[in-house]
Amino acid sequence: MSRAEVTELIVTRRLEKKLSWAAIAEAVGQSKEWTTAALLGQMTLTEEQALAAARLLDLPADAVAQLQVVPYKGSLPTTVPTDPLIYRFYELINVYGTTFKALINEEFGDGIMSAIDFKMDLTREADPKGDRVQIVMSGKFLPYKTY
């Protein structure tokens, strides 16, 4: 069973069982954001985490093994995304990417924000004009070194 097939099976089983990502995350013992990324193929689970997901989703042993393999991260297609929600993030980076870079460099110096030493929190923010999506991202600053 390939990692892509495991991801497809996870998505199918989650829908069949009417489970939220938050409920699966609770069983796995991690945040809903990290667990969702992991089960969609972008993170490595420990054996304990993989077994917890497998019990909840009735996954076979070969899926448990695949969940513990280091994935090829950032494996989405490199073409412009067509899914409207994912495209908005692409658009957001196109519009605000240089602003993020300028402000991070001004505050921290020449470097990057880590996506490895990273956490994210996604919540709903009530608003009388329509609920809003609030995403807080926190990544360790990694300065470029001279040598």
Q: SS3 for 114?
A: strand
**CATH superfamily name and code, 84-143:** Cyanate lyase, C-terminal domain (3.30.1160.10)
* Long-range Cβ contacts of 118-121 (<8 Å, 24+ apart): 119/31, 119/33, 119/34, 120/31, 120/33, 120/34, 121/31, 121/33
Question: For the chain, what is the mean pLDDT?
Answer: 94
pLDDT at 96: 86
Phi, psi at 142, each rounded to 5° = -120, 105
Q: Are the C-beta atoms of 6 and 63 separated by less than 8 Å?
A: yes
Among 61-75, 77-91, 122-136, top mean pLDDT goes to: 122-136
**Ranges in the chain annotated CATH 3.30.1160.10:** 84-143
Q: CATH number of the domain at 3-67, please?
A: 1.10.260.40
pLDDT at 27: 98
Is the pLDDT assigned to residue 98 strictly greater than 90?
no
Supply the residues annotated as catalytic: 88, 91, 114
Is the pLDDT assigned to residue 9 strictly greater than 90?
yes
Query: Which amino acid is present at 22?
Result: A
Rounded distance between C-alpha atoms, residue 51 and residue 146, angstroms: 44
pLDDT at 17: 98
pLDDT tens per residue, range 108-123: 999 999 999 999 999 9
99 band by pLDDT with thresholds 50, 70 and 90: confident
Q: Are the C-beta atoms of 41 and 3 separated by less than 8 Å?
A: yes
Say what the pTM is: 0.79
Is the pLDDT assigned to residue 141 strictly greater than 90?
yes
**Ranges in the chain annotated CATH 1.10.260.40:** 3-67
